[in-house]
Amino acid sequence: MKPAPFTYLRPATKSEALDLLDRHQDDDAKIIAGGQSLVPMMNFRMAQPEILIDINRISELAYVTEHDTHIAIGALTRHNDVKSHPLVERYLPLISEAYGHVAHHTIRNRGTIGGNVAHADSASEIPAVLSTLDASFVIESASGQRIVEADAFFIDVFTTALEPNELLTEIRVPKPGAGSGSAFEEVSLRKGDFAFASVAAEITLQGDTIMSARIGIGGIAERAYRARSMEAGLVGTPGGEDVIAALVEAEISTIEFAAGTGITADYRRDLTRALLERAVTRAITQARGDAR
């Protein structure tokens, strides 16, 4: 199938794009960047925007920069450029590792991190990882800028805090502290497919004691699920095998798992249990190596 008719607009600057969004906020206007999600939806007429605003010429939105407390990633930065960027590899290895599971190389060459985040597919790896890392999102409109934390940005499946006249321009990810380790685990039907379940973990140690834990689970709910009780339970412990197993079991018992295409609820529960144990154990092992 082919898309329904639409008006195509191609701003050259961020300010021009914000002006177009402001003027067309009452119309059905969509931003297109890499188009890896929107174009297929348009072809199947699952999405039929009246206006398409192409931001691919806005080079000012493609960058990765270092700041005192965080790494800033421009929303138009292509997936592969994020994955292989030296600052991401150094400070945000969890993102680099997770990108090894995202789609395929050709798609990552075209798709953008901002488009992926704004699409907010509940089974997508990068939104889950950014939620786990407590990222914040810079949102701009013709009238100003606001910064939204991950918990408030991701609302539901395909639903974010973005308003019709707003553009996601930057993602800010806190730098991990010394003695940190991370790990990403997932299982999917085929490499590059969305996961049946995925787990992202970042652990920070001081000596042999866990000082902070961030754990997120993707693919099991309307948005990434933070394992808050497990995070709290790990802090102040050395994160031994028995402690991890007990905390995983306690966390799993609070989650209502649903069946999906080709997967039962019981299988997803058992899979998530195994991935949690594996990711947290591996993150702790890596943190111990970094802390020495």
Can you give the pLDDT of all 292 residues of the chain as single tens digits?
Answer: 688 899 999 999 999 999 999 999 999 999 999 888 888 888 888 888 999 999 999 999 999 999 999 999 999 999 999 999 999 999 999 999 999 999 777 888 889 999 999 999 988 999 999 999 999 999 999 999 999 999 999 999 999 999 999 999 999 999 999 999 999 999 988 877 778 999 999 999 999 999 999 999 999 999 999 999 999 999 999 999 999 999 999 999 999 999 988 899 999 999 999 999 999 999 999 999 865 4
In our burial notation (b when 16+ CB lie closer than 10 A, e otherwise), range 210-228 reads: bbbbbbbbbbbbebbbbbe
- In this prediction, residue 1 carries a pLDDT of 66
Q: Name residues whose C-beta falls within 8 Å of residue 150's C-beta, 6 or more positions apart in sequence.
A: 130, 131, 133, 134, 135, 136, 137
Which phi and psi (to 5°) does residue 139 adopt?
-120, 130
Pairing of β 51-54 and β 29-32: parallel
CB of 197 closer than 8 Å to CB of 279: no
- In this prediction, residue 194 carries a pLDDT of 78
d(CA 252, CA 149): 25
- Could you give the domains of the chain? 7-54 (3.30.43.10), 59-174 (3.30.465.10), 180-291 (3.30.390.50)
Spatial CA neighbour of 153 closest among 145, 162, 163, 144: 162
- Cα 200 to chain centroid, rounded: 10
- One-letter amino acid at 73 equals I
Residue that is written with structure tokens 């960047």 in the block: 33
- In this prediction, residue 195 carries a pLDDT of 85
- In this prediction, residue 83 carries a pLDDT of 96
Largest CA distance in the chain: 61
Can you point out the beta strands (E) in 64-152?
64-66, 70-74, 136-141, 144-149
Q: What is the pTM of this model?
A: 0.94
- In this prediction, residue 107 carries a pLDDT of 83
Q: Name residues whose C-beta falls within 8 Å of residue 288's C-beta, 6 or more positions apart in sequence.
A: 181, 205, 208
